Structure 1
Amino acid sequence: MRLSVLDQSTIVAGRSPGTSIRDSLTLARACETFGYHRYWVSEHHNNDAVAGSAPEVLLGALAAVTTRMRIGSAGVLLPHYSPFKVAEQFRVLDALAPGRIDMGIGRGPGADRQTIYALNPSMMDDLLSMGGGDSFASDLEDLIAWSRGEPLPEDHPMAGVRAQPQGTTAPEPWLLGSSPYTASLAAQMGLPYCFAHFFHDGEGCAEALDTYRRNFSSNASGAGPLVSLCVWAIAAPTAEKAEQLFLPYAHWRLDRDRLVNSAFPSLAQVASRHVPPQAQAKIDRLRDTAIFGTADAVVHRLRDIAATFAIDEVVIVTMAHDPADRLKSYELIAGEMNLSPIRNIDLGGHEPRPAIVH
């Protein structure tokens, strides 16, 4: 079972959001040393809980501070952008870190409606978008072709347009989601698929993965289905310490589930809160399903999930008020899994797809 990392650059109470971005660089360097397979960063907007708003920029910095680990987005929210521009950004990233860039693409908005219009004001005049029209599948096809240096069909209005810089390698595309639609689209296009298990504690996971596997169409490279799950987990030296790390996460989740985007709290902050019985019941239910504890307990749960869903890789997202606790968690899990630093480029079972050189 491969282990990887999703880092959302979580904003924590009492520290500036900019610090969270810099902490991401520190964590990435450490996770490469620990032996994690890939390191992904996310995209959210106008969100007081998440500082990661521009993964394509952060990935440029990550390319400079890592040398072996795969790095990528989880994911770029394609509906906000021109597929051509995204392709150019990832062609640049691939030039900076050849053969180790993952181009994870998401379909969700990642923001409220007003912020969506701020990202792309022209949408207010786009009747198709306003009316619920969806060009995501065709945009994704164009993006992948441009990022790989493959020609668009001759009858395509953008035929002949190329995304620079061209090169001998290309980003590896992934589709990310939490619904049967994204699973089905990933299957039809022969793409690797990552299910966001941590969104709703795995709700809909079995259905989505079954849809993906049943409908998978091998791509030109002949690669088969490649599945990862992104789960929340945190490990600590003792069970008591793990409980102390879980409680702030539980309260943060209560806020998130109420659509309140708040900075990640400290244990002292949540310990002083009055918790109504209904909220306490939700915390207790989350305690039963969340993955936290000593390293051996956490790894046991991760292996169990991997076996249950027959997945190839687990991507761990961890939030903690103190970045040292987050870093220690990844170190403990890596040690329990006997990970070793990556010594060469590995595309997760998929053969590298060279870009077409014109």
Structure 2
Amino acid sequence: MNSEVNVDSEMEEVAKEAVNLDGPFVPSIKRTDIEDMSEFGDIEYYAWERYYNHGKAPSTIKNYFSAVSKIEKFLKSSDKINCNPEDIGKRGAKEFKRWLLGEVEKDTASRYISELDRMAQFYLAEGYYPGNPFNGLTDSIETNSTRSRSSSFQTNERISVDDSRLREAIRSTHGSQKIVLLAMLVKTGVRISEACNLDWEDVNIDHSLADDLLPEPRFELSDYSDTIYIDCDKTEETYDVGSYGNKRKVDTRIPIDDELKRLLLWHALVRERRFDRENPVFMSHTYPDEKSSERLGTATAWGRVAKVAKEYGWHESGRSVLENVTPHWFRAKFSSHMSTQLEADSNSPESDFDADPMDVVKGLRGDVGDDVIEGYRLRERDFQQVIRDRQFKIGLEGL
């Protein structure tokens, strides 16, 4: 073997070959040949993960990239829609459909839109996209097929839960910790692991009770009252219990409304006091007369959310992840609710809100990118109150 071979350089070339946007993947490349996929965009990663890695036929892969090339061509030629394919919204998707029907046959248009629909649904299910702009776009396309072709989003749509029933489920849940956990998931969109990794130092509450009950907030929150902080440096190795680490790539401050503020204060009043270096918000139990509690593990927290969902018929063994209410469902619910609320603000002549709703939602979710930095992070102070006002409301009267 040549001792002068640059392994890193070779690996980089392999990665470039593996995802070839001008044609199907190179059949000789194996998944184990690529160690770092961090530079893959959403389009390439989806193709790698869902098609090539599962041994799909070249014709299937080619059809996917044909759909991608069409939406890229549309965006380059459009005077109305100016964004990347991964960031297209509902209005852009509808414009793309109208344009595509003028470019190709109806059957082909339906097939291409379905490919993009599946990609958006993949990232929605993983909690990375706030919505699916291609949902239902193929329904009104009359194709030559004799069988009904409902969109992949509709056949795999997340279970729908009425807002009033969701409020009832949260309000009726036994125990302060479980109520706070559910409220935090739906109001802030944090992942279940990020909630479990939260320490009281990561919470800044402007209230006299907080001064007595809680430790001094971390420095990053010193100028941000009624806010929680998600630290991207907390990994699986940070704590001894079953933590999955915080997956986001950037530290994030998330405002909390009066409801979550009151719930956290209530929880702080009844929680077990810790005197070691850790001070977790969520613990495996909160009874002072028992042995010292441990930090709530991600798997245990997931199970507690699923238990509540089962009580309301929203979770059943054997169903797909899209058919059950899980912590991922709460993250998607947050994204959908917040983007809808902010979209209404941006379209209202009476509102001063002048940002792209998607940029704000992405910023709160901890997404990265120039659009998020310019559209949200550089202006996050401007959006604090509007975010609090638009967070999902539970209704604490009588609780």
Higher relative contact order (CA 8 A, sep 6+): 1
Higher-Rg member (1/2): 2
Give TM-score scaled by structure 2 length. Answer: 0.22
Structure with the largest fraction of strand: 1
Structure with the largest fraction of helix: 2
